[in-house]
Structures are given as C-alpha cells and as structure tokens.
Structure 1
C-alpha cells in the first residue's frame, strides 16, 4: 500500500495562494454562526482581507495550517496564535489560542481534525506553549464534543441574559 493510499490527507503550512479557499471556509463557518445566533452574528462582507492574511503569514506568532487531500483539495484549516496571559490577575502562561478550526463538512469524521490538532500542538510545544485554548459556542455541540475528545476541558462558562 502506498503512502498516498494509507494517508489520503496531509497537513501543511498555508501559503499565499490559499487565500481564496480560506475565505470560502471562514465564510461558511461564519454563516453557520449567523444562522445559529442571528442575535449576535450578522452577515458581513470580507471576514479576512488579503492584507490581514499576509500579515498573519509574516507574523512568527501565528500558526496557519491547511489539511489537504492527496489530490490537493482543501479539507480544513487551523489558524492559531501564540500568546501570553496579559492580566496581572492571572498566572503567567504562554499558550496557543486557536482562532479558527474548520474541517469542511464532506471531510468530517475521517481523522482530519485530529491530524490538524496534532500538527498545531506539535508546533506550539516546539515554540514553548504550555497549552491550547479556544472558544466554542454553546450551539456547536459537535465541535465541543470533538474538543473534549482531544482532551480539552471547559475553562469557564460565559453566560447571558437578553432584555
């Protein structure tokens, strides 16, 4: 069995030419948020400008990875930023904040999310990160279950009441 057959997906760093597919994926993700919580999220135009993307690529604290099929089709992405706690109330900690973690619907439940997380975790550990954090909205139960399966735990609960 060839490597391509045994491993139909691979993870690699995002490149400049990924910009349009990244925009498509984050727009799809945002649309899901707009549908689930239209009281919070609203439709908008460009979610990530080319200039913002290029700045992220040049910033050593950003980790931008793409999951691809052996045929080159994009199956998912993970964008994360190495950061440190800023508040004097909190213990000093260097951690990876995962800003976007997307696996396209047709590619879910094939191990791609685990591969993406393993790659981002490896890069973060090599950069001195002590852990990873992210935000998952309460309506996104499948994402929360996935993150728990990776070993993540709930850090705090943010609550609301609308008047």
Structure 2
C-alpha cells in the first residue's frame, strides 16, 4: 500500500505518543540526567493546541491504516532584539518514525511535507534542535540539506 501523509486527528494521539516515546527512550538512555522515561511524552493539551490553527500542524505518515511517523511543526518569530533581523521561521518540535519503519524513506517524506508546510506560510527557514549523541538524526538531517546553525554548550557543575 502507498504511504499517506495527512493532518493528525485526536484519534492519532496514542499512536503519535508511541512513536515519540521510542525517541524519548533513546534520549533517556543516552542522557539520563536530562531526559526521563514517560508513558505519554506528548501531553494531550499540547497535542490539542496543534489542531485548528494555521501556525501549528501535526503531520502523520500512515501505512496500511497504521501511523508510522509524525512531524510536529509550528511557526515562530525571532526574538525581538535590535541586533537580530526580524523573521518568521518554522520549527520542527518532533520528527520521528517508528523503529519498524525507519530507513524506508518515511522520514524524508515527512521532512519534505514539513518544508512544504513552512514555505506555504512564508517561513524564512525550517529549524530544529538535535542532541549531539544522536548521530543517526544528524546524518539524516544532513542528508536532506540541513546545516548546523549554532550549538548549545554546557559545563556539568555537579559531580
């Protein structure tokens, strides 16, 4: 069957959470001082905030009636500092594919849909954060043409 990309519904909530939880588990394993293990990573209130708004969207990838991937997007404004050029950009809160369907082009299709969504809203760019340990994600984003813009550095102050 063909992969279908569509806007998420409330009925997709549990499937979306299951996919995002897989990534959360990877993050909790790699950085237990930063990430915790949760049954529901996405709160229902936050999920609902994406419905019926033109500046937010959840796109799901569906194969054989099963949600196998998700992209959560929202439009943002640059901070209001004199030193920064005012701009609108699209932010990817989540882009995840079920482990059983990774490396099959689903992530690329979701990324392309996210790009189209952002362009339709005249975003200056599409941005996201990725953690340094997540080499697979960094390789994926590089493969679709994303580039590192900045880095967050840290010093651990507790032994």
Higher share of residues assigned helix = 1
- Post-superposition shift, 1:45? 5.2
Structure 2 partner of 1:161: 155
Structure 2 partner of 1:123: 117
Q: Which runs of 5+ in 2 are unaligned?
A: none
**Which stretches of structure 1, 4 residues or longer, exceed 4 Å deviation after superposition?**
none
CA contact (8 A) 1:96 1:131 kept: yes
1:78 to 71, 90, 105: 71
Aligned residue for 2:152, secondary structure, equals coil
Q: Over the residues paired in the alignment, what is the CA RMSD in angstroms?
A: 1.4
Q: Report Cα offsets for 1:92-116 as digits up to 9, x if no partner.
A: 1111100000011111111111111
Structure 2 partner of 1:105: 99
**Structure 2 length-normalised TM:** 0.91
- 2: distance between equivalents of 1:46 and 1:9? 25
Q: Report Cα offsets for 1:108-143 as digits up to 9, x if no partner.
A: 111111111111111110111111000000010010
How many residues of Structure 1 are paired with residues of Structure 2 in the alignment? 156
Aligned residue for 2:65, secondary structure, equals coil
CA contact (8 A) 2:21 2:38 kept: no
Which runs of structure 2 are paired with 1:57-68 in the superposition (5 Å)? 57-68=51-62
